[in-house]
Amino acid sequence: MGLLTEGEVLSWEETRAHAKHVQQHGIQQFINLYRNLKDRPNDELKWGDEIEYIIVHFNEAQQRAQLALRAHDLLPKLQQKELEAEEKGEKNPDLPALWRPEMATYMVESSPGRPFRCNFEDFTKVEGNMRARREEVQKLLMANEAILSVSAFPRLGCPGFTFPPALTEPNNPNSILRSLFFPDEAIFSGHSRMRTILGNLCKRRGRKPFVNVPLFKDKNTSENVEEDFAALGDDGEVQAVAKAGHIVMDSCGHGMGCCCLQVTFQARNLAEARFLYDQLAIMCPFMMTLTAGAPMYQGYISDVDCRWNILAACTDDRTEEELGLKPLKDGFRLIPKSRYGSVDHYLSPEGDQYNDVPAVINQEYFDKLVEAGIDAQLSKHIAKLFIREPLILYSERIHQDDEKDSNHFENIQSTNWQSLRFKPPPVDADIGWRIEFRPMETQITDFENAAFVIFVVLLTRTIVSLKLNLLVPMSMVEENMAVAQQRNAVSEGRLWFRQQILTGADGSQQSNKIVQMTVNEVFNGKDAEEGHFEGLVPLVEHYLSSVDLDVHTRQTLQSYLHCISKKASGELLTTAGWMRKFVLEHPDYKQDSRVSEIINYDLMKRCRDLSQGLTHDATLLPEFIPPLSLNCQERLASGDLSGMVDCFK
């Protein structure tokens, strides 16, 4: 969506009255898109990341860190050049970054000004571009503020966690969230989209979302987290659902207020997009485990390392009927999952035999898609997305030309928040079939963020080039997703993976055996009696050895692979592991699972210093990090971030 488009939002009742209209036209729009664009040949690899950030306010006198409600002020400045270009009708302006609002007023999201290409030298510019993006914001902040790519702020949801502090209004019927912990004022309100979607999630569901996250139990942790919910304004609703030994949350803000790291890439054509979508579905739990960065919430240490299930629970808009708690009304069905969740349906012909998770679909739309000539497997994917109702509708978008518009399709597609998104080409731009990889959590440093997004892109090249096949039954990927979020899954988890991923010339594999492996074994390989496995990092290295690279590029890529390899082996800590260690070793920590103000303050300061390169920590990062290219360093030093065509040339 461009920056200029915003219109009049319909009420929930009106939106709901148009739900079927949106779905029917959305399906027709997909059919038209598919017909027109299914044969797009030979698109080049283009790709780009998205990083979400929090803005932190440091109060030195009080030794306190808070989330600064700054997006309303920052975004107009960050988007100014893009907006000017849009007004002039200029396509592809030359900007280092594109900035977007996120759910919260303490968040912003950036992506590169233009997608990267698959010239390997471009890969060495990614980290520099990320650095430039960070500095673009940091320049606009005050000395006691910082932009951090920290996924979960440890005291999110504690009284006064924002700056300025904002009040929650659980008993105000006009409050959007009615949360005991997360104030409405922290929801981005520069446009109506976020507020509307969050409000409508609650309205559709009929009550607030509740999440109980298991607490990490230490020596002095009390059995009950004795929160005085009544003092926060609870009328008994939260008290009734709060489980002993858990951290209870009651709003969409809790999960959507955490930051993620995403990467989108363009496939050569539709067939390759379907193939790589499937291969990457298997990688979702693994990349989530390696990037785990959300171990603390609401001032407590939890027993999970990732935000994923919390997000799924807090954006769950299913009614009690759809959840099976009450008899179903006409026209509704039982729905097994939240609209935020892992993908569970393969799209490629090779993958179909592994589709063992029952698909709940809208039969009417499925029939319509099949009648239009779309194969049953892809039709099922779309008909699955379309069991959801729209959460927002603008009055001027109700009536659309299904040949020229795809807004109704995008409406449903973009509020299915899944681990992967299969993105068809837009109707109005020369862009191909893309896949968005969405399970990763943000890392503290640009080096790590670059390492992870580049690893994902290199892995897709390796899969295509070496003809790898990672497919396992989808139910096993689902099991892996659950394991991947647990505390220290990187060392303790055992995840399903294929014993053999190399294929012969005819695509066959000697063995279809699927075994449980550690993350270390999957990434670094193993040579055990029960079977040899090459390891993903050595396979990517093997692929790279066949490519002609200059010294700087090779060294940079090698350092990213090294980082991934060491995080997988446990020689380097994951972000979550590192944060836990920081808190447990802090002098103010009382072995009671609590993250006090001062611990939080010191932790956020350390994250700031790491992200700005002011300090190093050899438990988190490799000893040696290659410097950015000289040109890139000069640009950053001069502060002139303009003119960065295709990022640092």
- CA gap 603, 587 in Å, rounded: 12
Q: Report what 266 binds from ligand ADP, Mg ion, none; CB cut-off 5-8 Å by kind.
A: ligand ADP
User: Minimum CB separation from ligand ADP for residue 46, in Å?
Assistant: 4
Q: Are 489 and 289 a contacting pair, CB within 8 Å?
A: yes
At 304 the three-state DSSP class reads: strand
Q: Which does 169 bind (CB under 5 to 8 A by kind): ligand ADP, Mg ion, none?
A: none
Distance CA 400, CA 392 (A): 15
Radius of gyration of the chain (CA): 24
Judged by CB under 6 A, the residue of 26, 115, 199, 341 near ligand ADP is 115
Q: Report in angstroms how near the CB of residue 648 gets to ligand ADP at its nearest.
A: 16
Closest approach, Cβ 434 to ligand ADP, in A, equals 5
- Considering the complex, state which of residue 311 and residue 490 has its C-beta at the smaller distance from Mg ion: 311
Closer Cβ to ligand ADP, 50 or 127, answer by number: 50
Q: 495-498 and 514-517: which strand pairing?
A: antiparallel
Taking the complex as a whole, how short is the minimal distance between the CB of residue 265 and ligand ADP, in angstroms? 5
In angstroms, the Cα distances linking 46 to 117, 196, 264, 354, 481 are: 5, 33, 8, 29, 28
Give the nearest distance from C-beta 613 to Mg ion in angstroms. Answer: 25
CB of 639: closest distance to Mg ion in angstroms?
Answer: 26
Distance, CA of 195 to CA of 192 (rounded, Å): 6
601 is an interface residue for ligand ADP by CB under 6 A: no
Task: Return the residue of 124, 196, 264, 315 that touches ligand ADP, per CB under 6 A.
Answer: 264
Closer Cβ to ligand ADP, 111 or 151, answer by number: 111
Closest distance of CB 109 from Mg ion, Å:
5
Q: How far is the CB of 464 from ligand ADP (least distance, A)?
A: 15
Within 430-449, the residues that bind ligand ADP by CB under 6 A are 431, 434, 436
From the list Mg ion, ligand ADP, none, partner contacted by residue 16 (C-beta under 5 to 8 A by kind): none
CB closer to ligand ADP out of 57 and 434: 434
CB nearest ligand ADP: which residue?
48
Query: 104 or 563, CB closer to Mg ion?
Result: 104
Tokens of 451: 């390492």
The entry of Mg ion, ligand ADP, none that residue 340 binds, CB within 5 to 8 Å by partner kind: none
Is 453 or 604 the residue whose CB approaches ligand ADP more closely? 453
214: which 2 tokens?
């298991």
Tokens for 488, please give them.
């220290």
> Whose Cβ is closer to Mg ion: residue 50's or residue 322's?
50
Closest separation between CB of residue 191 and ligand ADP, Å? 14
CA distances from 381 to 10, 267, 284, 354 (A): 28, 18, 18, 14
Which of 26/48 has CB closer to Mg ion? 48
Distance CA 417, CA 312 (A): 9
- Footprint of ligand ADP on 30-59 (CB under 6 A): 46-50
| Partner from Mg ion, ligand ADP, none binding residue 257, C-beta < 5-8 Å depending on class | none
265, 433, 578, 648: which one binds ligand ADP (CB under 6 A): 265
Strand partners, 147: 55
Count of residues that interact with ligand ADP, criterion CB under 6 A: 15
Instruction: Report the distance separating Cα 315 and Cα 284, nearest Å.
Output: 20
Task: State whether residue 473 is helix, strand or coil.
Answer: coil
Task: Tell me how far the alpha carbon of residue 243 is from its chain's centroid.
Answer: 28
> How far apart are the C-alpha atoms of 438 and 418, rounded to whole Å?
7
Q: Of 12 and 417, which CB lies nearer to ligand ADP in the complex structure?
A: 417
Taking the least distance from each CB to Mg ion, the nearer of 414 and 559 is 414
Look at residue 46 and give the partner it binds from Mg ion, ligand ADP, none, a contact being a CB closer than 5 to 8 Å depending on partner kind: ligand ADP
The contacts found for 370-376 with CB under 8 angstroms, 24 or more apart, are: 372/31, 372/34, 372/35, 373/35, 374/31, 374/34
Does 277 bind ligand ADP (CB under 6 A)? Our answer is no
Q: Which stretch binds ligand ADP (CB under 6 A): 19-27, 262-270, 320-328, 598-606?
A: 262-270
Q: Would you tell me how many other CB atoms lie within 10 Å of the CB of residue 526? A: 15
Binding test (CB under 6 A) with ligand ADP, winner from 196, 200, 266, 596:
266
Whether residue 246 contacts residue 213, with contact meaning beta carbons closer than 8 Å, is answered with: yes
Name which of 256 and 561 has its Cβ closer to Mg ion: 256
CA dist 171 and 193 (Å) reads: 24
Residues 6+ apart with CB under 8 A from 218: 301, 584, 591, 592, 593
Contact status: 111 vs ligand ADP (CB under 6 A):
yes
Distance CA 501, CA 479 (A): 20
Q: What's the CA dihedral at 361, 362, 364, 367 to 10 degrees? A: -30
Write b or e for each residue in 486-496: b if 16 or more Cβ atoms lie within 10 A of its Cβ, otherwise e: bbbbbbebebb
Binds 49, which of ligand ADP, Mg ion, none (CB < 5 to 8 A, cut-off by type)?
ligand ADP
CA distances from 41 to 38, 272, 299, 372, 507 (A): 9, 11, 52, 21, 23
Stretch that binds ligand ADP, among 108-116, 145-153, 355-363, 398-406 (CB under 6 A): 108-116
198/205 Cα distance (integer angstroms): 11
Pick between residue 101 and residue 577 the one whose CB is nearest to Mg ion.
101
**Binds 112: which of ligand ADP, Mg ion, none (CB < 5-8 Å by kind):** ligand ADP
Provide the binding-site residues for Mg ion, judged by CB under 5 A. 50, 109, 262
Cβ 169 to ligand ADP, closest distance in Å?
30
Instruction: Report, in Å, the least distance between residue 416 CB and ligand ADP.
Output: 12
Tell me the closest approach of the beta carbon of residue 42 to Mg ion, in angstroms: 25
Specify the residue, 31 or 98, whose C-beta has the smaller distance to ligand ADP: 98
Joined tokens for residue 627: 């410097």
Contact positions vs ligand ADP (CB under 6 A): 46-50, 100, 111-112, 115, 264-266, 431, 434, 436
